């Protein structure tokens, strides 16, 4: 305990300096933790194991173009295909245009088979599914979305169309829970309802989602589908679901390189600030270190005390930074998760915490070791000359 008291007294020798360096470390570690967690969140979008057996077939010209529903028959005939689901982004809103969430018109007959992992299909009862299929105005919503709005099964949900000039009144027939919170922020309703409300979409859809029997069949199937519809009035672009999601992430630019660049800059800044601060603090205590050694303390023991002091200082700042990042992640999930569903999974994961804490401690020890080693190797007589 006496060693801890001594270390604490040394840290409090200059309270302002200690508070400033802890504050800078909190901000730095907070920034790194948030950026690395953002990178991890984006990586899960493009490397979702549930998406490995699905491909998306859409118009080659872009997402705003539609494909004939007749393409579905060809896709179903392919031996690699397990099922096909027509999906159209509806883009409506509930009550307030700012209250945005993902909503789709989907082929109700194959919806559950296509997205069985996201819907927790094994937890759904046959009665729930039959009730949804029976009601032409029925819809299914994720548990997180339902809790946000206080919805329950049987409630009526009026959606106001923005892309399509229809305002469907939907009845919740099923609320599903998903392993990922981001998958619970969506709504699906019968595709027939869109066709009936907007006849121009009859026989058309925005994309086909295709589940294959074996992942290794995907390259062959993608190439065959696009070749079959090449030079037609509606050429296709077929890609894995992960590649499809990656196209949205790429709209943000090379976000990975940007984040890594900022992280590197922050780490270098931490090293410079910590190194300069510890060097100044140790240089001011040259005489004190010499007195300790004159009293019989070995150079190794004094060096360890200084290293522990540096580690405690940096560790405190890193811990507070991680805790602050945890709080910020919760705020992001609550405020942004509904607008950008993948942010519902945003969290400061244990590996990120370990990297931040480990990196901060390594930087602290390195920044402390160099001036501390030099101070403990200096002859005692030279250190004592600074007295008075």
Q: How many angstroms separate the CA atoms of 31 and 226, rounded? A: 44
The DSSP code sequence of 69-108 is TTHHHHHHHSTTEEEEEEEEE---BSSSTTS--EEEEE-T
Q: Is the pLDDT of residue 357 over 80?
A: yes
Instruction: State which residues form the domain around 261.
Output: 2-46+253-384
Q: What is the pLDDT of residue 13?
A: 67
Q: Which of 207, 234, 261 delimits the end of a domain?
A: 234
C-alpha to C-alpha distance for 96 and 81, rounded to whole angstroms: 40
**Both tokens of residue 77?**
């005939």
- One domain, residues 209 and 69: yes
pTM: 0.71
Mean pLDDT value across residues 129-155: 93
Do 101 and 214 lie in one domain? The reply is yes
Inform me whether the pLDDT recorded for 83 exceeds 90.
yes
DSSP designation for 160: B
Of all residues in the chain, the percent with pLDDT exceeding 70 is: 82
- Helices 15-46 & 241-250, crossing angle to 10 degrees? 140
Of the candidates 91, 95, 89, 106, the residue with the CA atom closest to the CA atom of residue 162: 91
Q: How confident is the model at residue 388 (pLDDT cuts 50, 70, 90)?
A: very low
**Whether residue 220 sits in one domain with residue 192:** yes
24 lies in the same domain as 67: no
Read off the pLDDT band of 367 (50, 70, 90): confident
Query: What is the model's pLDDT at position 122?
Result: 82
Which of 173, 207, 234 marks a domain boundary? 234
Asked whether residue 67 is domain-assigned, the answer is yes
CB 143 within 8 A of CB 187: no
- Please tell me whether residues 29 and 158 are part of one structural domain: no
* Eight-state DSSP code of residue 213: S
pLDDT for residue 301: 75
Vertex 240 angle, CA 329 and 259, to 5°: 35
Q: How far is CA 160 from the centre of its chain?
A: 29
Residue 90 shares a structural domain with residue 208: yes
Q: Considering the domain boundaries, does residue 246 fall inside one?
A: no
Domains of the chain: total: 2
Residue 16: predicted pLDDT: 75
**Would you state the structure tokens that stand for residue 266, as one six-digit string?**
């922050």
Please report, to the nearest 10 degrees, the dihedral formed by the alpha carbons of residues 300, 302, 303, 305 taken in order.
Answer: 120
Q: Is residue 53 part of a domain?
A: no
Residues 324 and 217 placed together within one structural domain of the fold: no
Distance between start and end Cα atoms, the chain: 30
Verify that 317 and 284 share a domain, yes or no.
yes
The whole-angstrom distance between residue 240's C-alpha and the CA centroid of its chain comes to 20
Judge if 93 and 150 occupy the same domain. Answer: yes
In the chain, alpha helices (H): 2-11, 15-46, 71-77, 111-114, 126-134, 143-149, 191-197, 218-228, 241-250, 255-284, 286-294, 299-335, 350-377, 380-384
Domain assignment of residue 162, yes or no? yes
**10 has a pLDDT exceeding 80:** no
Nearest alpha carbon to residue 371 among 270, 316, 299, 303? 303
Distance CA 25, CA 315 (A): 9
Residue 54 lies in a domain: no
Q: Angle 299-335/255-284 helices, nearest 10 degrees?
A: 140
Q: At what angle do helices 15-46 and 299-335 cross, to 10 degrees?
A: 50
Single out the residue in 199, 234, 269 at which a domain terminates.
234
Residue range 296-306, pLDDT digits in tens? 667 777 777 77
Q: Is residue 239 part of a domain?
A: no
In terms of domains, do 83 and 218 share one? yes
By the 8 A CB rule, do 77 and 71 touch?
A: no
Averaged pLDDT score across all residues of the chain: 83
| Residue 243 to residue 245: CA distance in whole angstroms | 5
In a domain, 308, yes or no: yes
User: 240 pairs with which residues across the strands?
Assistant: 55
For residue 52, being part of any structural domain is answered with no
Strand partners, 158: 169
Highest mean pLDDT among 98-102, 105-109, 311-315, 338-342: 105-109
pLDDT at residue 250, rounded to an integer: 57
Considering the domain architecture, whether residues 258 and 227 belong to the same structural domain is answered as: no
Asked whether the predicted pLDDT for residue 253 surpasses 60, the reply is: no
Average pLDDT over residues 58-81: 93
- Least confident segment among 28-32, 43-47, 354-358: 43-47
pLDDT tens, position by position, 183-208: 888 899 999 999 999 999 999 999 99
Helix H or strand E encompassing 187: strand 186-190
Separation between Cα atoms, residue 236 and residue 76, nearest integer Å: 16
């Amino acid at each position: 305990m006496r060693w801890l008291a001594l270390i604490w007294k040394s840290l409090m020798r200059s309270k302002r300096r200690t508070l400033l360096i802890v504050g800078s470390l909190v901000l730095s570690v907070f920034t790194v933790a948030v950026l690395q967690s953002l990178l991890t969140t984006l990586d899960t979008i493009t490397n979702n194991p549930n998406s490995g057996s699905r491909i998306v077939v859409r118009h080659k010209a872009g997402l705003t173009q539609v494909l004939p529903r007749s393409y579905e028959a060809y896709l179903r005939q392919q031996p690699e295909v397990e099922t096909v689901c027509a999906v159209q982004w509806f883009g409506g809103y509930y009550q307030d245009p700012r209250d945005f969430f993902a909503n789709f018109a989907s082929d109700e007959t194959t919806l559950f088979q296509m997205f069985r992992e996201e819907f927790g299909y094994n937890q759904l009862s046959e009665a729930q599914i039959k009730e949804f299929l029976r009601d032409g105005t029925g819809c299914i919503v994720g548990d997180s979305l339902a809790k946000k709005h206080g919805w329950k099964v049987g409630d009526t949900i009026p959606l106001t169309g923005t892309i399509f000039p229809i305002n469907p009144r939907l009845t919740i027939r099923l609320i599903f829970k998903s392993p990922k919170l981001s998958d619970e922020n969506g709504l699906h309703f019968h595709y027939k309802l869109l066709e009936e409300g907007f006849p121009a979409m009859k026989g058309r859809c925005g994309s086909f989602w295709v589940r294959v029997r074996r992942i290794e069949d995907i390259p062959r199937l993608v190439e065959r589908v696009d070749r079959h519809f090449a030079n037609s009035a509606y050429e296709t672009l077929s890609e894995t679901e992960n590649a499809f999601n990656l196209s949205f992430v790429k709209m943000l630019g090379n976000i990975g390189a940007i984040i890594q660049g900022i992280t590197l800059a922050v780490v270098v800044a931490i090293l410079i600030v910590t190194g300069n601060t510890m060097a100044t603090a140790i240089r001011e205590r040259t005489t004190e270190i010499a007195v300790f050694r004159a009293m019989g303390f070995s150079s190794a023991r004094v060096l360890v005390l200084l290293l522990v002091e540096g580690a405690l200082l940096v560790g405190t700042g890193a811990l507070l930074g991680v805790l602050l990042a945890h709080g910020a992640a919760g705020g992001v999930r609550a405020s942004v998760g509904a607008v950008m569903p993948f942010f519902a999974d945003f969290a400061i994961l244990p590996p990120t915490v370990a990297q931040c804490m480990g990196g901060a401690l390594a930087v602290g020890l390195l920044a402390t070791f160099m001036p501390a080693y030099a101070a403990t190797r200096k002859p005692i007589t030279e250190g004592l000359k600074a007295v008075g």
